[in-house]
Amino acid sequence: MKRAVFFVSDSTGITVEALGLSLLSQFENVDFEVIRRPFVASENEAREVVRQIGCAAKERGQRPLVFTTLIDPRLAAIVHLADAFCISYFEAFLAPLEAELGVKSTHTVGRTHGSAGNGGYKHRIEAINYTLAHDDGVTDRDLAAADVVLVGVSRCGKTPTSLYLAMQFGLKAANFPLIPDDFERGELPECLRKNREKLFGLTIQPERLAQIRAERRPKSVYASLANCRREVAEAEKMMRGEGIRWLDSSHKSIEEIAATVLQELQTHKPARAAD
């Protein structure tokens, strides 16, 4: 029987779930069943969660694991009464942090999202709108406003990476496909050359690319391994020639690709464009 895992939060539960899953991923041979309880905001709701935890414990004959980010100490105390192994994030770290900073915490619910870290709701919405409007080379208008312009062959991961950069980090992320026309001409389109310092390339193993393309257009030339090999080789040659930084997206998650791009943008300050 799978071990029950509760993620309990007074807000979205996204942070506590990320923490819990990163810990649980260290136990490959244990099967877990995740039960989410976000937006627990009252004592009654906390008591209801305790009841559900109790039921899961009884049903499975094993006490559940409970991860919580309840900020209100009264709610946290209630959940602690549950028949469970409980990891309470704020309880573990707020007191030592208060001691270190020499001030009391404000015990306020749900301040993480929307304001601080991600640079404000409006800023993110603008970044998302920009990114959607500049997906897949749809337009080269207003590229001057981009924080980054991803380039690479069709289906190498540009769109999800752009969206993640916008959503998570508030970056205006345009993306442009590198296509056979560019390879024949032997140079980047003008609009990209003018923004060379913002370019970041994605590449991909031809075998993986062929697989992805075949799901869209089975048995096409577009998806054939020979064609994928040629396009990837041409794209890498072009990026090398133009001095564009790039990374291989083949075995990386969207988060890893996006975080790598962000790190590269921050550590290597934009070089002046050559022309």
Considering the complex, state which of residue 42 and residue 168 has its C-beta at the smaller distance from a second copy: 168
- Which residue in the set 11, 68, 195, 203 belongs to the binding site for a second copy (CB under 8 A)? 11
52 binds a second copy (CB under 8 A): no
Considering beta carbons, is residue 196 or 208 the nearer one to a second copy? 208
Residue with tokens 């015990």: 107
Task: For the segment 133-152, give every residue that binds a second copy (CB under 8 A).
Answer: 135
**Residue 224, interface with a second copy (CB under 8 A)?**
no
State the Cα–Cα distance between residues 158 and 162, nearest whole angstrom: 6
Q: Within a 13 Å sphere around the CA of 91, how many CA atoms are in the beta-carbon half?
A: 16
**Site for a second copy (CB under 8 A): which residue of 54, 119, 160, 177?**
160
92 lies in the binding site for a second copy (CB under 8 A): yes
Work out how close the CB of 22 gets to a second copy at its nearest, in angstroms, rounded to a whole number.
4
CB-based contacts of 230: which residues, under 8 Å, 6+ apart? Answer: none
Shortest spacing between CB 269 and a second copy, in angstroms: 16
Q: Report if residue 266 touches a second copy, rule: CB under 8 A.
A: yes
User: Minimum distance from CB of 239 to a second copy (Å)?
Assistant: 21
Q: Does 100 bind a second copy (CB under 8 A)?
A: yes
Position among 41, 77, 94, 143 found at the interface with a second copy (CB under 8 A): 94
36, 178, 191, 232 from 202: Cα distances, Å: 35, 10, 18, 10
Candidates 113, 102, 116; CA nearest to 11 is 113
Asked if residues 257 and 249 have their Cβ atoms less than 8 Å apart, the reply is yes
Amino acid at residue number 242: E
Q: Exposure string (b/e) for 171-184, b if CB count within 10 Å is 16 or more?
A: bbbbbbbbeeebbe
Contacts with a second copy, 104-133, as mask; x by CB under 8 A? -xxxx-xxxxxxxx---x--xx--xx--x-
* 150/166 Cα distance (integer angstroms): 12
Task: Single out the residue of 77, 167, 179, 225 in contact with a second copy (rule: CB under 8 A).
Answer: 167
* Nearest residue (CB) to a second copy, 64 versus 206: 64
By CB under 8 A, is residue 41 in contact with a second copy?
no
